[in-house]
Amino acid sequence: MKKIGFIDYYLDEWHAEKYPAWMEQASGGRMKVEFAYGQIDLPDKSSNAAWCAKKGIQLLSTIEAVVEQSDYLVILSPDHPEFHEELSLLALQSGKPTYIDKTFAPSQAAASRMFELAEKHRTPMYSTSALRFADEYADLQKIGIESICSLGPGEFGNYAIHQIEPIIMLMGIEVKRVMWTGTDKTPSLIIGYADGRQATINLYGWDCPFSMALRYEEGASKFIQIQSDFFSRFIANLVGFFESGKPVVSQSETIAIATVLERGLKARFTPHQWVLV
C-alpha cells in the first residue's frame, strides 16, 4: 500500500475531510492517507490533533516528516492559496508526485516559481479545479467557440477558479485582457482573447448552479448545467497521476489560470476598464 501525506494550513476543512476515503476507494485500497501536517489550529474548528485522531491519520509535527514518510503528497489549503508556495516548498524538492489543491497560486509569479522548483527537482506536480472533470465539459466541441457566458456560486477569491479553469480548458490560454463588471455581491469578469473571442464569469451566490452558455462561430449555441459527479472523476484522475507521475493539466494552462485570477482581482479596483494580461 502506498502512503499519502496531507500538508494543510489547517486540517478541519472540507477537502481534507472527504479526500481520504475517496482516494482509498478509487485506488481499490492501494493508497491511503497515513500522515498529515497542519500549520495552525483555528479556535472555531477542531484542532489538527483532534481531527487526525477522529480520522485515524497520524499527525506529524513537521512538513519534512510528512514528505519523508509519504509516497505521494497533497498540498491542501483550498481556501488559502497564498500559503501554497510555502507549504509545498519541501514537497516540490522531493521528486515525489505532488498534487496542489485549488486555487494553485495567487499570482503568475508564484505559479511560475512553483513550476520551476518542481522541474528543477524532477517532481511530478499539478493542480486543477475538480470542475475540469465534469462530464458536461467533456462532451463539448472546443473548436469554433466564439463566446462563453459562465455562471456559478461562491465568492470570487476561492470559487472563480471553478469557472475560469473550464473556460481556459475550452478556449485556450491566449487571454489578452480582463474587465471587472460586477458588484461586491455579484462578481463578474470579462475575459478578452487576443483574437476577439470573449468569455464572462458570473458569481451569483450559493443557490446558483454551475452552468454555461456557449456560442459558436458558425452560429450554433449550447447551454449546459453541471450535474455530473465531477469529484469522483477528479479523484480517479488524481489516483492515476500518483501512479503514473504524468499530470493531465498542462503547465501553460495552470499559469494562465493563475494570471487571469490575479489580474481579475486587480481589475476590481478599476471597474469597467480593461486590465492587460
pLDDT at 38 exceeding the cut of 90: yes
Distance CA 126, CA 91 (A): 12
The pLDDT, as a whole number, for residue 159 is 96
- pTM, 2 dp: 0.95
Q: Domain spans of the chain?
A: 2-127, 130-229+261-276
CATH 2.60.120.10 at 130-229+261-276, yes or no: no
Q: Three-state SS string across 51-108, please?
A: HHHHHCCEECCCHHHHHHHCCEEEECCCCCHHHHHHHHCCHHHCCCCEEECCCCCCCH
**Topology (CATH) of 2-127:** Rossmann fold (3.40.50)
Residue from 202, 198, 204, 189 nearest 267 by CA: 189
- How confident is the model over 150-199, as pLDDT tens digits? 999 999 999 999 999 999 999 999 999 999 999 989 999 999 999 999 99
**Residue 117 identity:** L
pLDDT tops 90 at residue 139: no
Paired sense of beta strands 175-180 and 2-8, if any: unpaired
